[in-house]
Amino acid sequence: MAEPVLEVSDLVKHYPLTRGVVFRKQVGAVRAVDGVDFALGRGETLGIVGESGCGKSTVAKMLVNLERPTAGSIRYKGEDITRLSGRALKAVRRNIQMVFQDPYTSLNPRMTVGDIVGEPYDIHPEAAPKGDRRRRVQDLLDVVGLDPEYVNRYPHQFSGGQRQRIGIARGLALRPEVIVADEPVSALDVSVQAQVVNLMDRLQSEFGLAYVFIAHDLSIVRHISDRVGVMYLGRIVETGTDTEIYEHPTHPYTQALLSAVPVPDPEAREHRERIILSGDVPSPTDIPSGCRFRTRCWKARERCALEVPALAVPEWFRPAGGPVAHDSACHFAEAVSIRRSAPGVSVPVEGHGNGPG
C-alpha cells in the first residue's frame, strides 16, 4: 500500500446508558464501535461495508471529528487528531472532508448553492482570497458537472442526484486529501447512482483523493474500492483487497453477506447457494462473549464463546499464501467458492483451508 494518510488503531466509541435523574449512574453502554483498525493509503479507496447498526457511520463521524472517540487513535500523516484541539485541529480538518448520505437534509434549504459550496472558505479564509471565491465556486460546480450559472439557486430547485453533486463540490472546496463518504449514493435512483459513482471515480484520479467509502451496498463498494473492510457489531471482521474479500471470503459473516446479495441475472437463480442467516443482529448494548458473530453463525463451537478471534491472517492459510491469506477474525476461517453467476462464469475454488479442530 502507498504511504498511509490515515491510520486508525483500536478506535472505540461507547455511548453510556444512564439511569436516574438526580443521581445519574451508568448502567451500561452502547458499544457502537468496539476496536477498529485500518490504514488508508494516499489516493486509495477503502470501502467499509456492514448492515445497519454495525457502527460504520460512527466510524465516519469520528474520522471527521464530529464525534470524539472513547479510546484509540486516528493518525493523519502520523499526527493523532483525536488529541488535537483549537487551531491545530482546524488545520487538520481542512484535509479530511465528508460527503453525507442524504442530499435532502445535508444542505441548508435557506442558503444558495453558491453559499453552500463556498461556506468552507468562510471557515478557512486562508484557502481562497475573498475576491476569488465566486469564481472558485463556479469552477467547483463545473467540476462536478453542474452548470456554473446555478450559483444563485436554492437546494429545492435540484434533483437528488444534483444535490449530491453539490454536497461533493462542498467536500472538494478545500482541496482535501481524504474524503469520507457515508452512503453517498444510497438515497439516489439507480440511473442516477451510476452518474455519481462515475463522478467520484473521476474526481479521485483528477485530485488524487483518498476515499473512505461507507455503504451497505456490496456491489457499489466493490466497484469503487481498492480494499474493503467488513464490519459487524462494531468491529471489522474481515479485510483485504476487493478480490480477496469478494472472490475468496473466509469469514462466515462475509460469506453470508455476499451470498445474500441479489444478482441481476435470472439464470443464476437455480445455481446460487444461499446462506440464509437466522435471527437478527444482537443489540450493541449486549454483545455476545467471544466471537460477536457466533449467535448467528452456523459454524459456532464452544471455543467461539470463550475466545475473541483476532483480526489476522489465519495461521493455516499462511504457508500457502495467495488470495485466501488475508485478515479474517474467525477461529474456523475457511475458503469457499462463491458462485454467483451461471456455471461457466463461476469463480473457481482456490486453496482449501480448514480451521484446526
Partner 1 sequence: MLLEVRDLHVEFHTRDGVAKAVDGVGYGVDAGETLAVLGESGSGKSVTAQAVMGILDTPPGRITGGEVLFQGRDLLKLKEEERRRVRGAEMAMIFQDALSSLNPVLSVGDQLAEMFTVHRGMSRRDARAKAVELMDRVRIPAARERVGQYPHQFSGGMRQRIMIAMALALEPALIIADEPTTALDVTVQAQVMELLSELQREYDMGLILITHDLGVVADVADRIAVMYAGRIVESAPVHDIYKAPAHPYTRGLLDSVPRLDLKGRELYAIKGLPPNLTHVPPGCAFHPRCPLARDVCRTDEPPLYEVSPTRGSACHFWRECLNG
Site residues for partner 1 per CB under 8 A: 51-52, 159, 161-162, 189-195, 197-198, 201, 216, 218-220, 222-223, 242, 246, 256-269, 274, 276-277, 279-281, 340-341, 345, 347
Instruction: Pick the closer one to partner 1 by CB: 7 or 217.
Output: 217
Tracing cell 465556486 back to the chain, one arrives at: 137
Instruction: Pick the closer one to partner 1 by CB: 4 or 249.
Output: 249
Q: What are the φ and ψ backbone dihedral angles of 348, each rounded to 5 degrees? A: -70, 155
Instruction: Pick the closer one to partner 1 by CB: 84 or 197.
Output: 197
Name the H helices within 158-232.
160-172, 190-207, 218-224
**Least gap, CB of 286 to partner 1 (angstroms):** 14
**Least gap, CB of 243 to partner 1 (angstroms):** 8
Residue 188 corresponds to which cell in the numbers above? 439516489
Instruction: Pick the closer one to partner 1 by CB: 26 or 105.
Output: 105
**Least gap, CB of 346 to partner 1 (angstroms):** 9
**Least gap, CB of 149 to partner 1 (angstroms):** 17
Instruction: Pick the closer one to partner 1 by CB: 312 or 345.
Output: 345
Q: Which of 253, 257, 237 is nearest to 312 (CA)?
A: 237
d(Cα 225, Cα 243) in Å, to the nearest integer?
10
Q: Which of 194, 178, 347, 344 is nearest to 259 (CA)?
A: 347
Instruction: Pick the closer one to partner 1 by CB: 17 or 263.
Output: 263
Quote the distance between the C-alpha of residue 172 and its chain's center: 18
What DSSP line would sit under 314-349, residue for residue? Answer: -GGGTTT-STT-SEE--TT--------SSTTSSPPP
Residue 40 corresponds to which cell in the numbers above? 488508508
**Least gap, CB of 79 to partner 1 (angstroms):** 35
**Least gap, CB of 66 to partner 1 (angstroms):** 24
d(Cα 96, Cα 357) in Å, to the nearest integer?
45
Q: Which helix (H) or strand (E) holds 200?
A: helix 190-207
